[in-house]
Amino acid sequence: MKRVLPPALVALVLLGLWQWWVTAFEIPVFLVPSPARIAQTLVADWALLSAALLVTLKVTFLSLVCAVVLGVAVAFAFVQSRWIETAFFPYAVLLQVTPIVAIAPLIIIWVQSPTLSLVICATIVAIFPIIANTTLGLRSVNRGLVSLFRMNGASRWQMLIRLRVPSALPYFFGGLRVASGLSLIGAVVAEFVAGTGGTGTGLAYQILQAGYQLNIPRMFAALALIAATGVLLFVLMGWLSHRALGGWHESARPADGAL
Amino acid sequence: MLTTAPPAVEILGAEKTYPSGTRALLPVNLAVQRGEVVTLLGPSGCGKSTLLNLVAGLLTPSAGEVKVWGNDRGTSAAPAASDVSFVFQEATLMPWARVEANVRLPLDLQGIARAEADVRVNDALRLVGLEKFAHAYPRELSGGMQMRASIARSLVTEPTLLLMDEPFGALDEITRNRLDDELLRLRRQRDLTVIFVTHSIHEAVYLSDRVVVMTARPGRVVDELAIEPSLPRDEAFRVSTEFAAYAKRLQDALLAASSNADEALT
């Protein structure tokens, strides 16, 4: 409750100020709609917007799953040998630093299925923190424990499953939190690029359409849905991480001051 | 001579030079008899941990031989046998596993049957007085209790040789003294041979049958001192004149060694 109340209060105050400002200064609705108007639009256009939300959610989750599966696989490959890591890490960085808007049109041309092309774009955006964090985690193993495992004749497999993987979990979940936000961003950005081709009906497409029609309240409503999705994803990942690390890791501890 | 058992540990001219050329340890000759507690005492960088790692089989000597129970360590790349246990500077517990699972780990890795492992884990936990904390996570324990869990883990394989690398160095003095006493009790109960690395003169005198004095730059053995085994190891011993005399002798040996080293440098 303590963690929900303060931000909720802030939201209430800000929305109140916004509502007052729009009414008091008679701001036209096609410039800045009032929160009440946005809420009305959300309800009125719910059929349209919820269908779009589902499409965006689908792309976000599919890309997050792809990023996790591929990212973890790549991280495992990296820790198998320094040579593999040295040879391939620059290309992982390349994925990270190339702006997705620049490659998205190409991918959309190459890949027939619109959903698949969006998922590929969003995966490219989301995968790097998973690769980087998981690799770091798999390498951050207590050296004493490595000696202990060796002295007791542990196999490579036992070392991986019983030592490296649990050691990597806190790092992995840190990466997952970042990646979940990035997969949403990737899904929206890719749809902005693809949407002009008339392929998608996700939230980004709705924002574009509403923009062409100067339907600003709907634009804001779609925006609010994207923001809410992002927050929910973040909370969900935090909860997952807490469930997985609860009990043993510092980050999962109920601290007195922080958080 | 046929009846003579091989020494627990026999170090024959073993030395360690790293590929970078750093001489971590000059040739050492040392035999540790069964049931003995031998302390390696010296400042940082004197090669005492290196020597212990050679005995553990975690390092291979650049030259010379290390034999444990008559078997050459150097010839086989195989890791240490199950009759040798190592206690690290820190508790080195797996933070994600409960105390019970941490103590069980060596048995799991060695493929000991579950029923037998259960018995041994319980025994080991009782031995160090942690049976009530079997289901706690390491971070819920104090530093001293974590170290006890670490010792329980080292005893669970029922080793005959225990190698300890400054195990109590990070603990407060009261906890350290108590754990020293427990170690001596365990040694009697389990008929253990112990090689104990420390930089504390007092701990060395209190625990040892024999203290091996080492010095740095380069790491080497400079002196050896036997502590009269008939002296009772209790609180009175810590403040006795004999204790002070032993401590003084070790102190002098360390000082002499380090001043010689300084002269050699200049």
pLDDT at res. A1: 64
pLDDT at res. B28: 87
Shortest distance between the Cα of A227 and any Cα of chain B, in A, equals: 35
Q: Is B68 exposed, middle or buried (0-12, 13-18, 19+ CB in 10 A)?
A: buried
* Contact flag B84-A151 (C-beta cutoff 8 Å): yes
pLDDT at res. B78: 46
Average pLDDT, chain B: 85
Token pair belonging to B107: 């048995």
Average pLDDT over residues B163-185: 87
pLDDT at res. B162: 92
pLDDT at res. A97: 87
Whether the pLDDT of residue B72 is over 80: the answer is no
Interface test with A, best of B94, B155, B158, B165 (most A CBs within 10 A): B94
User: Residues of chain A whose pLDDT is less than 70?
Assistant: 1, 195-200, 247, 250-259
CA atoms within 13 A on the CB side of A162: 21
Tell me the chain A residues in contact with residue B95 when contact means C-beta distances shorter than 8 Å: 248-249
Shortest distance between the Cα of A174 and any Cα of chain B, in A, equals: 17
Shortest distance between the Cα of A171 and any Cα of chain B, in A, equals: 14
Over the stretch B97-146, which tens digit does the pLDDT of each residue have? Answer: 999 999 999 999 988 899 999 999 998 998 888 989 999 999 989 988 99
Average pLDDT over residues B12-26: 86
Shortest distance between the Cα of B243 and any Cα of chain A, in A, equals: 34
Question: Do residues A163 and B70 make contact, with C-beta atoms less than 8 angstroms apart?
Answer: no
Tell me the chain B residues in contact with residue A154 when contact means C-beta distances shorter than 8 Å: 109
B245: Cβ contacts below 8 Å, ≥ 6 apart: none
pLDDT at res. B74: 54
Distance CA B115, CA A246 (A): 29
pLDDT at res. B265: 52
> Angle at CA A34, nearest 5°, toward A31 and A40?
115
A-B contacts (CB, under 8 Å): 60
Tell me the chain B residues in contact with residue A162 when contact means C-beta distances shorter than 8 Å: 105, 108-109
Instruction: Please give the full DSSP string across B24-64, using - where no structure is assigned.
Output: EEEEEEEEE-TT-EEEEE--TTSSHHHHHHHHHTSS--SEE
pLDDT above 70: percentage of residues in chain B: 92
